[in-house]
Amino acid sequence: MKKIILLFVFITFNFTSLYAQDVLQPPSIKDMNSVYKKDRNTNKKIQEYTHLREADVMWSRKIWRDIDLRQKINHPFYYPMNDGNEDAVRTDDRRSLIDVIYSAVAEGTITAYDPKDGLDDEFRETISEAEIISRSGAGMEVTTKFDQDLIAQGVDPELAQYQDTIYNPFDRNIIKKWRLKEEWFFDKQRSVMDVRIIGMAPLKEDRDEDNNLTGTFSPLFWVWFPETRKVLIKAEVFNLVKNDAERRTYDDIFWKRMFSSTIFKEANVMDRQIDQYMVGLDALLEAEKIKEELFNFEHDLWEY
């Protein structure tokens, strides 16, 4: 009987100690912004790809597609906006896709590869964070200004000029498109048509010599998608059906193909992009034609 009483006292004391520790420890910012503790996406693990052998792939085709973040279904990739000032971020529970990827590149968690003016997407050479910032139009800008007070006093303008240095942060809101490089294939071992993303790149708007927008986009850098999954699996995305209890991660969004895109290029003998031989509406129709060919190929594999 004494042993039972001592055991009861011991258990009660332990529970009291644990409760006291919880009271003494201040809650985290994430816990303070919710009525319950959110651990599902924090402890999420990457769902590994099914093992694939070369002998199992009887057909494959590489496709490049652009995701336009100005489309409503793609808004979760773009918002919340961030001008490069981390202190100005208004949300701590979700970030835009460029914020997630660029922060991981800056930390060295994932590697960025040089697109070489949009001509290389095969991850051959790496690119540093400083080069990314420079190509984005950010960095130190030195301008020549004139002291108007000295000029008013009759001083020669050449003697009244001075150098003014301004730092322009990396404005991540300029990233309004993403490009995906993916491979469609038929796995005869599982008898399924499948697709896997190989790489992804943020696209910046091109400007001419007079700093005017040209209407075209080019990759800022490339990242190898399998490497980014360890970062994307931890980053939550806003749920467009307005249910914060059922948020997904960026890895879920790409895995389930929950985005809208336009085919930009398919593997071809001349390695041409669609906009190099089609313009305007014809280019869109060509992209839809390629998409329909992929659908028909899978459909024609079966008998009904």
pLDDT tens string, the chain, 304 residues long: the values are: 666 665 555 555 555 544 444 444 566 666 677 777 777 777 888 999 999 999 999 999 999 999 999 999 999 999 888 766 655 556 777 899 999 999 999 999 999 999 998 889 999 999 999 899 888 877 666 667 777 777 777 777 776 776 776 767 788 888 999 999 999 999 999 999 999 999 999 999 888 887 788 888 999 999 999 999 999 999 999 998 888 888 899 999 999 999 999 999 999 999 999 999 998 899 999 999 999 999 998 888 876 6
Q: What is the pLDDT of residue 144?
A: 72
> According to the model, what pLDDT value does residue 304 have?
62
State residue 70's pLDDT score: 93
Whole-number pLDDT of residue 104:
95
pLDDT at site 175: 93
User: Could you tell me if 224 and 198 are in contact, meaning their C-beta atoms sit under 8 angstroms apart?
Assistant: yes
CB-based contacts of 129, cutoff 8 Å, min separation 6: 105, 106, 112
CB-CB contact of 93 with 236 (8 Å): yes
Residue 167, burial from CB neighbour count under 10 angstroms (0-12, 13-18, 19+): exposed
Class of residue 55 by CB neighbours under 10 A (exposed 0-12, middle 13-18, buried 19+): exposed
Q: What is the pLDDT of residue 24?
A: 46
Residue 193's closest CA among 92, 294, 79?
Answer: 294
Residue 126 DSSP label: B
